[in-house]
A and B are shown apart, each in its own frame.
Chain A
Amino acid sequence: MSASFYTKPANNGNAGVAMETSWDSNPGRQRTLQPITTGASVLAIKYNAGVIMVADTLGSYGSLAKFRSIPRVLRVNDATVAAASGDLADMQFLNTVVENHAIDEEIHEHGIAYSPASLHSWLTRVMYNRRSRINPLWNTYIVAGTEAGQPFLGYVNMLGVAFKEDCLATGFGSHLCLGLLREALDAAGGYAGLTEETATSALEACLRVLYYRDCRAYNQYQLANVPVAKPAQVSGPHFLQSDWSVAKLVKHYTE
């Protein structure tokens, strides 16, 4: 047998699921069974004058780091940005739909644009609807922006679970980084006491922890900053400095 250098996303074929549905007999129509090309964690935190969100630029194909420059942060308009983790094909499909909606709003020239809360609400309905039809969009979205002069941060996952918080993380980030982000907020006494510099350095520290401890993370990332009073800015790619000198102190197991 040929040894594989990496594990491909598992090939389920037609095995297992015993559900008599139209798509089983109609092989052209399919539903998402598993994510194929995936994006890793998205992290976001509010600060006193806005929201900052980061996402690395890696598209993983199973355990292969296949696409190293995938933008996962979408700038919807001056007041809204969104980023997704999970299946990148589903993300790109949804992002196209959102962009087309934004263009439609511009064409109408009525001055109404997506607010982050309305985008979050719309995304929730779409994701929940898809999960109820057993054909989910395999993503976890974080929507960030300015809503009625206040910073907004919302989360929607592939099950349609949605909530708003002062700091958010998806995937591995929720296990490794949420503790650090909450600590940063507690130390500042809430997001009103957090400056932009502190928020950015907290997110950068979290990205570093992810790069050290998440096998699917990467050291190149995009950063989206939506200040309350100014238009949203997506910058990148930024490169993460990492310190591996501690490896000298890690002795091998027979020591």
Chain B
Amino acid sequence: MAMLEEPSCPGFVFDNVLRNQHLLAKCGGGSQADAAASSTSALPRAKKTGTTIVGCVFNGGVVLGADTRATEGNIVADKDCSKIHYISDRIYCCGAGTAADTEMVTRQISAQICLHRLSTGRLPRVITAKQLLKDYLFRYQGYIGAALVIGGVDYQGPHLYSVAPHGSVDCAPYITMGSGSLAAMAVFESRFKPDLDQGQAVQLVRDAILAGIFNDLGSGSNVDVCIIRQDGVEYLRPYLRANEKGQRAAVYRGGKPAVLRTDRRPVLADIISTRIIRDSGAAQAAGETPMET
């Protein structure tokens, strides 16, 4: 039963390497740095999610959290993007890294899980989604820039995994990924205890994402939270609007400012000495070299 896509040739497929080289050569010749500097046609910068994504296991399920900023280089491309993706009814996946990659890979695996569920007649397991994701990412040797946090509940209980772009997997009760992962991990390392209840887990996730939002430049805007339990899912988007636009403080009208007061004072100076400097233009016209000053 070929439910997974079969590659047309065994092993790794590197067809696009030639295409990429050709594109780079066509764009500006030489490195991408040169192409960017030439400013006429450079390869487009990938839209990345910057990102702080976290997951936390509690005694009834899993809580996933994410910020909502998507960056293109140093510009915020999307102030409210959704980083918690649906895999199946009780399995969700947060994605950091290249935005297109996280979106497409989670959608693809979601479809495969759906077909698998119909084919087997069983509720999907988180470990299956993790396996599919990691096998796919490993096959592309890190070129698909997707760093994922998969969390969900299946018949065995709650599960939480992280999958790195090169295809490695980690299983832990709390996980963070993305540029804000260190700030978020510090919150978990100082406050996580085993056997949290839902309220404590959601508070921990909220604080971890806020640490990423306020201490990492690649993360920002709001906090999204997804609580997955055996009996249901709460997809809270936004869970918290942490960066509301401020109110305008004043309106500055155009035009000339009014002159309120004029105060004229002469600048008094004593002439101490006088020195004559020959005018170099006149001197040259007269055939003399100008005096050095």
Contact = CB atoms under 8 A, between A and B. Distances in A.
A250 B173 contact: yes
B211 A183 contact: yes
A253 B130 CA distance: 10
A236 interface: no
Contacts of A253: 168-171
A115 B227 CA distance: 53
B3 to A, nearest CB: 22
A181 to B, nearest CB: 10
Closest 5 CB pairs of A and B: A179-B215, A175-B182, A179-B211, A179-B183, A209-B189
A180 B186 contact: yes
B215 A250 contact: no
A213 B176 CA distance: 12
Contact of A246 (B169, B185, B192): B192
A177 B169 CA distance: 26
Interface string A183-225: 1000000000000000000000110110011000000000000
A29 interface: no
A182 interface: yes
Contacts of B127: 255
Contacts of A183: 207, 211
Interface in B185-232: 185-187, 189-190, 192, 194, 207, 211, 214-215
B13 interface: no
B172 interface: yes
Contacts of A208: 189-190
Contacts of A250: 170-173
Contacts of B215: 178-179, 182
A249 B169 contact: no
B172 A179 contact: no
A175 B169 CA distance: 23
B28 to A, nearest CB: 25
Contact of A252 (B171, B192, B211): B171
Contacts of B170: 250, 253
A176 interface: yes
Contact of B172 (A213, A245, A249): A249
Nearest to B127: A255
Interface of A: 175-180, 182-183, 205-206, 208-209, 212-213, 245-246, 249-253, 255
Nearest to A253: B169
**How many B residues touch the partner, as a band?**
20 to 34
B187 A180 contact: yes
Contact of A176 (B169, B183, B207): B183
6 contacts: A176-B185, A179-B183, A205-B190, A208-B190, A249-B172, A255-B171
A198 to B, nearest CB: 14
B124 to A, nearest CB: 17
Nearest to A250: B172
B187 A179 contact: yes
Contacts of A255: 127, 171
Contacts of B189: 208-209, 212-213
B173 A175 contact: no
Nearest to A177: B186
B172, B214, B215 pick with most chain A CB within 10 angstroms: B215
A175 to B, nearest CB: 4
A131 B170 CA distance: 42
A87 B215 CA distance: 27
Contacts of B187: 179-180
Contact of B171 (A176, A182, A213, A251): A251
Contact of B173 (A176, A182, A249, A252): A249
B116 to A, nearest CB: 19
A237 B198 CA distance: 40
Contact of B183 (A175, A206, A246, A249): A175
A178 B211 CA distance: 9
Contacts of B207: 183
Contacts of B169: 253
A177 B192 CA distance: 16
